[in-house]
Amino acid sequence: MNYDQKILEPNESVNMTDSATTAMNTESGTPKMTARHVDVFYGDKQAINDVSIDVNMDSVTAFIGPSGCGKSTFLRCMNRMNDTIPIARVTGEIKLEGEDIYASQMDVVQLRARVGMVFQKPNPFPKSIYDNIAYGPRIHGLATGKEELDEIVESSLQRAGLWGEVKDRLDDSGTALSGGQQQRLCIARAIAVDPEVILMDEPCSALDPIATAKIEELIHELRGKYAIVIVTHNMQQAARVSQKTAFFHLGTLVEYGETTDIFTNPREEKTRDYITGRYG
């Protein structure tokens, strides 16, 4: 993938030519995605109120907050999955490497190939493991032949830490795997189209602790290769996997900063109340 000319925000200093080099060159973290003054409405009801946030390439960003505060809603704005909800309306500006993703010339198909998503409940297609992974590369025409496709499938499964467990049963149905394996299959499926950002909406909430630990380990390994945003209701998980944490409350972004700061020394009263378990 090649995105030559980028419109840079004034405070962006590093000239990005390739997502991979961006990952290596950034120290303080150049925003991969930026959101400014985003409001989201479901019909007349406002679910997100004036949220501005930057998502970096080199860190895992966690969205935390009480349920119903709009974490999923905001996450779904970042790859325009809210387009599938007829009553949802998004205003404000969200940019991916400086390109406005809500601009009319933005192709949603391209956007979603660049910003992948993993859902709360593992949702493998009722196809073989191989076809699950090959699904994205096929629709985006990423492989020219069978061998190339095989390679993509293998490397995606390897990155998702699933290759060893499934390499002898690629023809089995994806739905026959265990819950944790299914979720890693979904992550592998997202990786297979070589995205720049991976959005995860409570990816472990349907899994047992061992499967959860595996996913967390996987997130560690994927960090730096992709900009990762993870929604979680589990604060220990946020503390374990993320470097940046955003605390949402009632549709607003209350506080956003280094995870260690948020958990040890929050600026806002509300954040402290939430992480000390006083409400939520």
Partner 1 sequence: MTGATLLFLIIGLGLIAWFFGRLKAAGMQSGGKHSRSALHSLPNYHGWYVALWAILPAAIFLAVWSFASPALITDAALTSPAAAQLPQDAFARAAILSEARAIASGNQVNAFNPLSQSMVEPYRDAITYYQMIGTVAALLLVFACGVYAWLQIKPDLRARTKIERVTMLVLLLASLIAIVTTVGIFLSLVFESVRFFSMVSPIDFLFGTEWNPKAVAGPRGETGFGAIPLFWGTVFIGAIIAMIVAIPLGLMSAIYLTQYAPAKFRSWMKPILEVLAGVPTVVYGYFAALTVAPALRDFAVSIGISNASSESALAAGVVMGIMIIPFVSSMADDSIAAVPSAMRDGSLAMGATQSETIKKVLIPAALPGVVGGVLLAVSRAIGETMIVVMAAGLAANMTANPFSSVTTVTTQIVQLLTGDQEFDSPKTLAAFALGLVLFIVTLLLNLIALRVVKKYREAYE
Ligand X SMILES: Nc1ncnc2c1ncn2[C@@H]1O[C@H](COP(=O)(O)OP(=O)(O)O)[C@@H](O)[C@H]1O
- Among the listed residues 20, 24, 85, 139, the single contact to ligand X using CB under 6 A: 85
Q: Which of helix, strand or coil describes residue 228? A: strand
* Region of 27-35, 69-77, 139-147, 176-184 interacting with ligand X (CB under 6 A): 69-77
* x/- letters, 33..72, toward partner 1 (CB under 8 A): ----------------------------------------
Nearest to Mg ion by Cβ — which residue?
72
Residue located via tokens 């374990």: 240
Residues whose CB is less than 8 angstroms from the CB of residue 83 and which lie 6 or more positions away in sequence, other chains included: 108
- Among the listed residues 16, 53, 170, 190, the single contact to partner 1 using CB under 8 A: 190
Q: Is-contact 255 246, C-beta < 8 A?
A: yes
Q: Is-contact 9 31, C-beta < 8 A?
A: yes
Q: Is-contact 100 43, C-beta < 8 A?
A: no
Q: For residue 181, give both structure tokens.
A: 């394996």
Q: Smallest gap, in angstroms, from Cβ of residue 104 to partner 1?
A: 17
Residues whose CB is less than 8 angstroms from the CB of residue 160 and which lie 6 or more positions away in sequence, other chains included: 184, 185, 187, 188, 191, 218
- 119 sits near ligand X (criterion: CB under 6 A): no
- 203 sits near ligand X (criterion: CB under 6 A): no
Report the partner that residue 103 touches, choosing among partner 1, Mg ion, ligand X, none (CB closer than 5 to 8 A by kind). Answer: none
- 185 sits near partner 1 (criterion: CB under 8 A): no
- 72 sits near Mg ion (criterion: CB under 5 A): yes
Decide whether 70 or 195 has the Cβ nearer to ligand X.
70
Alpha-carbon distances of 95 from 11, 34, 61, rounded to whole Å? 14, 5, 16
- Among the listed residues 69, 134, 192, 253, the single contact to ligand X using CB under 6 A: 69
- 73 sits near ligand X (criterion: CB under 6 A): yes
Alpha-carbon distances of 264 from 92, 271, 276, rounded to whole Å? 32, 11, 10
- 81 sits near partner 1 (criterion: CB under 8 A): yes
**Burial 193-205, CB ≥16 within 10 A → b, else e:** bbbbbbbbbbbbe
Q: Smallest gap, in angstroms, from Cβ of residue 188 to partner 1?
A: 12
* x/- letters, 42..61, toward ligand X (CB under 6 A): x----x--------------
- CA dist 38 and 40 (Å) reads 7
Question: Which residues in this chain contact partner 1 in the complex, by CB under 8 A?
Answer: 79, 81, 84, 86, 108-113, 116-117, 119, 121, 123-127, 135-136, 139-140, 175, 186, 189-190, 193
Question: Which residues in this chain contact ligand X in the complex, by CB under 6 A?
Answer: 42, 47, 65, 67-73, 85
